[in-house]
Structure formats: C-alpha cells, structure tokens
Amino acid sequence: MERVRPQPLSSPTTGKSQSAPWSIVLPLVLVGIAWLQELIDAALFAGRWNLPLAPGSPWWTLLTAPFSHGGIGHLLTNTLIFLPLSYLVISQGLRAYLWVWAGVILMEIPIWLFWPVGSHGLSGVVYGLLGYLVLIGLIERRLISLLLTVLVISLYGSSLVGLLPWATPPGVSWIGHFSGFIGGVLAALGCARNPEPS
C-alpha cells in the first residue's frame, strides 16, 4: 500500500487568495459602521448620539470615536478620502492596513488621558493612512512604495496643513489629525520591508 503524504491545508497562494476578499470588503465594512451609526443618530436621536473620545469618557471610546461624526457632511467628507487611502494602503498588504488602525488607536490613548477637548471621526484614521503612505516609500525605497508616496503627496499633500493648529478651522481637532498621522508613521516603521538593494 502506498503511503500518502498529508497535504497542507493551505499554501501561500491559497492564503493570499483567501485574504483578497477581506482586502476589498474590510474598508467598506468599517465605513459602513460609521454610516449606520450616523443614520441611527439622525433618525432616532436628532444628532445627540455621539460616541467621542473625551476627557473622562470610558476606555471603549478609543474604539468608537472613529465611527462617530458630527453630521452627514462630516462623515461624507471623511468617507471620500478614507476609502481611496484605505485601498492604497491595502495594496501594500492587509497587514499594513491593520497596523495603521492599531497605530491610530494606540496614539489616541494620550489624547484620551490628557487632552482637555474631545474629538471623533474617521479623520484621525485618514491621517494615519496618509502618514503611512507618505513615509513608506522613503523607508522601503522600492519602486511601488515610492510611487505610492509620490501619488499621495501629489493628491493629498495639501491636507497636511490639517496637522498644524494655527491652520486648522475652529471646531476641527488638529490633535486628532496629528496623533493619527503619528500612528500611521509608527505603522510604516513597524511593518516596512527591507529596502531594495541598490
């Protein structure tokens, strides 16, 4: 009787193909949660059901703050930037995307503990994605990564003024943008591949 060698349940190719649907769906699910919260808030609570990160708020507002917004206009603006930046980061791998989210939430902690003014919205994550994409090409020095960095600076470079307190409109949390950007930078440093040999 011939002995049959057990086959692995998955291969690198299979694993990659299994993660591909999540790479497409995950940003849509995340932004869908924000839209669901906003629509419930508008329909049932007249805009009073917000879940911001604020002084003395529960720890779980670290997780809810990105999905809470100040109105449909606020959420729509964030959505139109969040989705393309999400897919640009995911082009580097789903792992990079998860690192950005982790970095953004990590950098929310000092704001939650020490900052006197609350904030909410996906813009912190947007700046985290931006921070990752701005830095990743400079760290990896790979063609695709460099092209992503150049593309993002060309399209969204003007948004970087949102990191400056004196250039931010009243009512907009520059510190949320800044902490998100630093979270994205940390994600780029944490998951970057080695530079290509010259």
Show Cβ contacts of residue 190 under 8 Å, excluding neighbours closer than 6 positions.
99, 103
Q: Is residue 198 in a domain?
A: no
| Paired residues of 119 in beta bridges | 53
Q: Is residue 17 in a domain?
A: no
Residue 28 confidence (pLDDT): 97
Tokens of 25: 């769906």
Is the separation of the CB atoms in 101 and 94 below 8 Å?
no
Q: Is residue 12 in a domain?
A: no
Q: What CATH number is associated with residue 163?
A: 1.20.1540.10
Q: Is residue 58 in a domain?
A: yes
Percent of the chain with pLDDT over 90: 70
Q: Is residue 5 in a domain?
A: no
Q: Is residue 120 in a domain?
A: yes
Residue 131 confidence (pLDDT): 97
Q: Is residue 82 in a domain?
A: yes
Does the pLDDT at position 184 exceed 60? yes
Number of folded domains that form the chain: 1
Q: Which residues span the domain enclosing 91?
A: 22-191
The pTM for the full model equals 0.87
pLDDT band at 25 (very low <50, low <70, confident <90, very high): very high
Is the separation of the CB atoms in 66 and 37 below 8 Å?
no
Q: Is residue 31 in a domain?
A: yes
Residue 14 confidence (pLDDT): 41
Does the pLDDT at position 36 exceed 60? yes
